[in-house]
Amino acid sequence: MTAHIIDGKVIAQNIKNQLKQKIKALQAAGQRPPCLAVILVGNDPASEVYVGHKKKACAEVGIESRSVTLPADVTQATLSEHLRKLNADPAVDGILLQLPLPKHMKSDEAIDLISPEKDVDGLTPYSQGLLNWKRPGLTSCTPLGVMELIYSTGIDVKGKRAVVIGRSVLVGLPVAVLLGNAGATVTSINSKTVNPAELCRQADILVVAAGVKHMVTGDWIKPGAVVIDVGIHRDGQGKKLVGDVLYEDAVAKAGWITPVPGGVGPMTIASLLSNCMTAYERRSQR
């Protein structure tokens, strides 16, 4: 058996195409497009690349993007001031604070300042609380993308056994909540879990967000399972991207699997654009 490949690029492009048509219709009706403000602090090369990808994706669908670029030695107070201004700006629908911040800064303090209605990364405690209460809010982009990838397989999540490796507030915790809200029975695995492979072998749906290269091998996977690999690492001399799952092993065991790259990554950006549109629509309806 060889697993079906879940093509995140194709699914993400479909989402972007739908957003593009929505925004064209808005502009044809004389309305402004949604606006996303991205704050980049410092000159971390990876962060600069990610911000570039996000700005390009915004342009592709017609979302206006604003950039706030601050030096690495900026004070917490100055960053806070920029966040408050963006919160108060009626022309800004979404605010994205690119992480990580420089070491002298407090990420939690900055995230807490983002208005929940503009929290397109779904990172504020308020947004995460709404998710736990099953109330409308903005969901973290990667978890939102993970769920779309799972739904694309056509399986019914209700009643399925799901295992999530990793419990970060960015991915693992919200994915576990979303799967539970969808009716799955969820087990969350962390670094202290005893016999993680045994638990994984029971999973109809396995989401791996451990941040450990090739942690999950083929013998961890239940035959026919849906495997979503959130991890991304440089392999060898840095020329090849690989995930938390040993793909060559897993593809022979799983029923469905995401590749790295081309799986979760494109969906994260598509979900960001979708969240920006959602934030725009909710603010327009007030």
All residues at 6 or more sequence positions from 84 whose CB lies less than 8 Å from its CB, including other chains: 113
Which tokens hold the place of 131?
């998710």
List, in sequence order, every beta strand (DSSP E) within the chain: 4-5, 35-41, 64-70, 94-97, 161-165, 185-189, 205-208, 226-229, 233-235, 240-242, 256-257
How many Å apart are CA 83 and CA 174, to the nearest integer?
24
What are the catalytic residues?
A: 54, 98, 121
Task: Provide the H-helix boundaries in 70-155.
Answer: 76-88, 107-113, 125-132, 141-151
Q: Is 69 helix (H, G, I), strand (E, B) or coil?
A: strand
CA distances from residue 127 to 141, 168, 180, 199 in whole angstroms, order as listed:
12, 15, 17, 30
